[in-house]
Amino acid sequence: MDWENLGRKASKKWEEIREGAAGVREDILCDTTFAPRTGWDYLAHSGTVLAALMLLQAATGVLLFFDFRPNPSLAFASHLFIRNDAAFGLLISNIHTLGAKLIVLLAFVHMIRLMWLASYRGPRAFQWYTGIGLLTLLLFTGFSGYLLPWSQQSFWACVVGTEALKVVPVLGPFAAGLLRGGDNVAGPTLSRFYVLHVFLLPAGLAALFWYHVKGVWKTRTIGPEDSLARADESACIGCGACERTCPFSAVNMVEVAGQEKPRPRFDPDLCNACRACVDRCPVRCISLVCGGAPCVTEPIYPHNVLRRAFSTAAVLFALFFAAYFLPALFIAEKTPADPMLTPEHIKPDWYFLGPYQVLKVMPSELTGLAALFAVFMLMVFLPKLDPRGPRDPARRPLFTLAVKIGVGAFVLFTLWGWVS
């Protein structure tokens, strides 16, 4: 092995990391971002809160890892030991359980907000794809963790969930057998879900999260729905860099009387305020305006940092309060799993209640799975299906109606599954 060459590569990579960290530090200390104008603008902090919650989940998961035993004969007993005898075990277990539910809820809120503002277009398509990947892994992580206490409800929820896979042609029986480790949910299933929940899925989440944050930092936060690019014609040199850079073909260089070189014109129906032209303009004469006036901005440090810290602290306080004072409202009492006794009502965690109810009301499980898969693929390919156009929801009535119907259907089926 060429140790000298390997050392040079490591030194080069370390230098790149240091330069990147210095650039991030400079951006935080010197750059500005959009200031919130209404209470709804604070939903922009959902990504930061999600990051904090995921770190908290990792920390509480490590603490639970020390006392949990992934064995059918010991799993429920270790679950009881953590909650009843381990130091702060009850609080840590409640925080981990409620944190998982809250993370999925905030991930849905974050995704719906981005859909509402059409922030999946152009340069931000990569963030949309990594975000969909993160949400998918979060759902699988929640499903795998739901089985680990080896309780009656979680055992049979796993039976129903893996059984539904068998109706998928060709790959379904293979996938169900791979997850179960055999024909039935048993010890090998618990071991596989444990490895998935503790090692494989967190590794995938960490990798996707890293690339997602890098992409967000590169393209920066999405602006208000009425934000558009405008050029200061007195400073413009007519180089056409903005026209060549715009991924939405929203910029056209036109001849202006009294000017030697053409000047840019921005189409409000096509501009998505992606800042590509702002970043590529050599004389920095392009900026974003909101409603025809300059966008209200604030320094990232300390103003925006403090706002996001306050939002994160408020959510964490609510989580700790619910975990300590109100756990009975969100966490059902568990009984040991009994493979010989099927419970009367089998219910998954809240974020799977809606899809589970769809499977129950459809003519067949295959039809239900096909419908759910079709909705998922529509979400995945949204940047391709809606690549350009105005961002203002008021100017996209059909799309906003479809989003409202989709969210309403999800809430309706979730409530239906909860009461049924």
Cα 351 from Cα 336, distance rounded (Å) = 23
Q: Give residue 347's pLDDT.
A: 87
> Would the pLDDT of 97 be above 90?
yes
Percent pLDDT > 90 in the chain is 75
Cα 175 from Cα 193, distance rounded (Å) = 13
CB contact at 8 A, 217 and 24: yes
Q: What is the mean pLDDT of the chain?
A: 92
- CA distance to 251, 413, 416, per residue, from 361 (Å): 49, 10, 11
Q: Give residue 275's pLDDT.
A: 86
For residues 127-149, give the mean pLDDT: 97
For residues 215-226, give the mean pLDDT: 87
> Would the pLDDT of 1 be above 70?
no
For residues 368-397, give the mean pLDDT: 93
Closest to 97 (Cα-Cα) out of 153, 44, 42, 163: 153
> Would the pLDDT of 281 be above 60?
yes
Binning pLDDT at 50, 70 and 90, where does residue 114 land?
very high
Cα 158 from Cα 150, distance rounded (Å) = 10
For residues 305-320, give the mean pLDDT: 97
Q: Give residue 60's pLDDT.
A: 98
Q: Give residue 3's pLDDT.
A: 74
For residues 375-401, give the mean pLDDT: 93
Buried b / exposed e across 178-217, counting CB within 10 Å, b at 16+? Answer: ebbbeeebeeebbebbbebbbeebbebbeebbeebeebbe
Which one is predicted more confidently, 383 or 23?
Answer: 383
Continuous H helices in 169-252: 171-180, 187-195, 201-219, 241-245
Closest to 141 (Cα-Cα) out of 217, 199, 98: 199
CB contact at 8 A, 321 and 330: no
Q: Give residue 20's pLDDT.
A: 76
- 3-class SS at 289? strand
Residue pLDDT, tens place only, 53-76? 999 999 999 999 999 999 999 999
Least reliable range by pLDDT among 47-61, 136-150, 253-267: 253-267
CB contact at 8 A, 354 and 344: no
Place of tokens 């059409």: 118
Closest to 286 (Cα-Cα) out of 304, 271, 306: 271
Q: Give residue 211's pLDDT.
A: 94
Binning pLDDT at 50, 70 and 90, where does residue 15 land?
confident
The 3-state DSSP composition of the chain as helix, strand, coil percent (nearest 5) reads 65, 5, 30
